[in-house]
Structure 1
């Protein structure tokens, strides 16, 4: 299609700003592809003959256009089509740069979508090339993806054109896009486990593996370096994989080139995915600083409500959440980069039918030294699901399967999980609980270990038989005696309230429902328990002391 033909389509309303006034022949240039480019460095996307569509997100002030337009002209681009939405009109700086370099410039009015322009061009290319200029069609779908359409459209195109099924998986086997139904969970996990093993062994992509009797080609999408920092070790834990149900090693050059274009497109989506998590990660970092700081306990609820509640949940009440802490070690004793483990855990928690029912917006994560810390919003209990919290056993099974071939004989990845907390005032205690559970995991022998509050309690209670019986009785009498005396004199039920509160893992709502009390009445009882014993029930060590006293008394 010629540029002149495109300008003559009345419904598009394209308006030439540069080129035609100096050389009318420039309008007879042919258009071979229609990429959308809104980066300041457009060179790697160009081969010549393109009509470049841009929303001008890269332009901020006079002088910005020179370098951008110069690259387009040197690459042999047919024309530049600039949208008027971003700045209200095309800046004069862009017009002057295009005139200096002899590059035709077209203004795209706000009512005209880039999709409409692309459709007109590609419909003409399709008629001319018969079964199709697939590279041009992929450019169309690059545009669709930029308009927040689904990448599934691109993968469907490849299925129709090349006769193969194509999917995009995370490093934990979660299907991000692609043909439906998804792969069986065992197959997806086996593919990602083999990919991680091949990456650690230094193998070159594409990685061709066989699962069952079917070959699969695994092509990594590694555009995650900004997310995990400068240290490239273990960055494969955050990779996405383009999975083709075929051996692509002998594909002809055109088909291999098309696959390369697809990987570039998915890399763009991968980068956008990481950028979308920036606010959540900032939230997690600020919340962690608050919890480990010197802020008085009574101020924590107010400060956390202004961060986690407003940014993550958008609710008017504090959301129910769990803390997850993960760390790992290579066999040499060196830590596995925490930023890579963060990406792995984020994906593991999103696994369909996985350890917990959450969405990407429910997870805020950060890095704290050699540990990754995740704040995970979990669903409220319902009659059908009274305990919708993170399943430690399911998470351990998933991570063990994914990392089976990646971890060396003495490498380790360990995870600690807190109980869900309903009150922001308990957040500090929950974080401490998750870290204590992580210590229990690290003390065990498994290469992959996930431990929660039940494991921590079991560990503490397993030590009780080692303490002399008379010492335990004296400890229980000293700690619980004030409550027994108060119950006897005032006919209250503080001891049973304490037992129920610990059984409910400190959850105000669950405990109040169990005791058929209003939440304020429960708070009054717990405050009275703390006054009589001089202990703070928001602290993990206090709860363990009370639990040991109740078990031994």
Structure 2
């Protein structure tokens, strides 16, 4: 704002004492001080308010004004409450340095002037920023990406002092301003996402006011393609996929200009969201082709060849052929009016990204297809080059569930369910069909539970479940291979005879003496072999459940 505008505002009660020719200077901030040397706290462009407590005699005015001018101050306003008027020596010093000087009537509080200046300057800066945002949006829609959400969030932080973050519906931090201070904690992200989804399901218009741990946030929906709330036939089609913009401020006190600016920011981020969705189109198609081969019972060599061709797109940067996991998801709504497949596809693409990761890079390695109401994700894992030690790696169903259950439950309200099934990692294309059936069966186990969001992993397909007649043969074979393949591989490399040892140990009902006698081994050698079996498989042969699993695996192999 201009100094002239301050003088024209009667409510401020300012009286000009000098500097008539400098009233077109621009005010960019305000500071109140009675320090003899406040220069270290000035950055330039301020209107300085002072009660004159720094002045002991006339000789103090000249150095004080000189320091202000050197710091880039645009004007000085001196209060009359302390001395009854502004001293002549201060008027002379300001005239000498061409620094405009105002007198502030004793009835006017400095806080009143400060509030007026901050409000006006903020409005001006918001207008400037709106122009920048609009130009940035035009660049992104007409050419290459202009830096993504982080750029405009940095502008909000630097120009309007607004801390802002882009979040996914599951509470993942997608982007945040680098000038906004520390990143938003994971529990705050989840809480904001949950409150936003709950408000969206009630039909309330954004922004939504959220109070978390004593801090007020305003949450703005980011609708794909700039779509209006009425753009979808049913809010359930998009509630689990739309991003959100969280701002650490109470937008209820904002003028229309600032609200319009933030709406423009959400539209700009929506352009970036659409760009990322478009980039997933090829991965979706490749995943669909691979899964069609798997479901059709194609030869493993044919599936492996297709994966090699697709690898540069499905697994950019991973290099060697990875191991794979399959995750199956299903979104179901009461009434069945909403098609669940596309919703589940978007949701899997989101929740399979590490909740602690930011930016687009992690999602470049997730390929999700959908058939009917079911979404199927092919998740590559880096090939494990060390010897198998029985530990689990990759996606764990319980960890996945814990990271998304809170926010998604709020979006599902009382008429929706999400169920997820996670397979074990498989080491080749030959195991993909078994992994797919395993993930599907695990999802059915999850669906039998209570709760809005449920997940189950391959670990929960215990041997007694595998005996049920409706369990697919591929699931049984995957179970057997997962339990016995580490032992077979070890025997092949070391000629350790772990498989024969396991069979004999089970036939002898776990008796160390009888088993050692049958195998013509010392008991200590037998104990070593059994310990190696337990280490490689992660099982405990003193437990009845694990003995039963091994017994059935050996009989089905």
Range class of TM-score, shorter chain: 0.5 to 0.7
After superposition, where does 1:110-189 map in structure 2 within 5 Å?
133-142=128-137, 146-179=144-177, 180-189=181-190
Q: 1:404 aligns with which of 404, 409, 424?
A: 409
Shift of 1:260: 2.0
Contact 2:126 2:160 in 1 (8 A): no
State how many pairs are aligned: 366
User: Which residue in the other structure is 1:450 paired with?
Assistant: 455
Distance in structure 2 (CA, Å) of the matches to 1:232 and 1:418 = 31
User: Which residue in the other structure is 2:80 paired with?
Assistant: none
Superposition RMSD in Å: 4.0
User: Which residue in the other structure is 1:517 paired with?
Assistant: 493
Distance in structure 2 (CA, Å) of the matches to 1:269 and 1:249 = 27
Q: 2:483 aligns with which of 493, 503, 521?
A: 503
Distance in structure 2 (CA, Å) of the matches to 1:461 and 1:231 = 40
Of 413-422 and 343-352, more deviation after overlay is shown by 343-352
Extract unaligned runs of 5+ from structure 1.
1-125, 465-478, 480-497, 526-543
Distance change (3 Å), C-alpha of 1:547 and 1:307: farther
After superposition, where does 1:236-385 map in structure 2 within 5 Å?
236-308=239-311, 311-313=314-316, 317-332=320-335, 337-353=340-356, 359-381=362-384
SS at match of 2:210: strand
Shift of 1:250: 2.8
Contact 2:355 2:403 in 1 (8 A): no
1:275-330 CA distances to partner (integer Å, 9 max, x unpaired)?
11111111111112111125344433223332346643466643211111011322
TM-score, normalization by structure 1 = 0.58
Contact 2:462 2:549 in 1 (8 A): no
TM-score, normalization by structure 2 = 0.58
Shift of 1:352: 3.5
User: Which residue in the other structure is 2:394 paired with?
Assistant: 389
SS at match of 1:172: coil
SS at match of 2:245: strand
User: Which residue in the other structure is 1:416 paired with?
Assistant: 421
Shift of 1:426: 1.3
Say yes or no: does 1:197 pair with 2:198.
yes
SS at match of 1:295: coil
Extract unaligned runs of 5+ from structure 2.
1-120, 470-475, 500-547
Contact 1:326 1:414 in 2 (8 A): yes
Shift of 1:257: 2.1
SS at match of 1:421: coil
SS at match of 2:218: strand
Give 1 or 2 for the bigger CA radius of gyration: 2
User: Which residue in the other structure is 1:5 paired with?
Assistant: none
Contact 2:209 2:219 in 1 (8 A): yes
SS at match of 1:161: helix
Say yes or no: does 1:430 pair with 2:435.
yes
SS at match of 1:238: coil
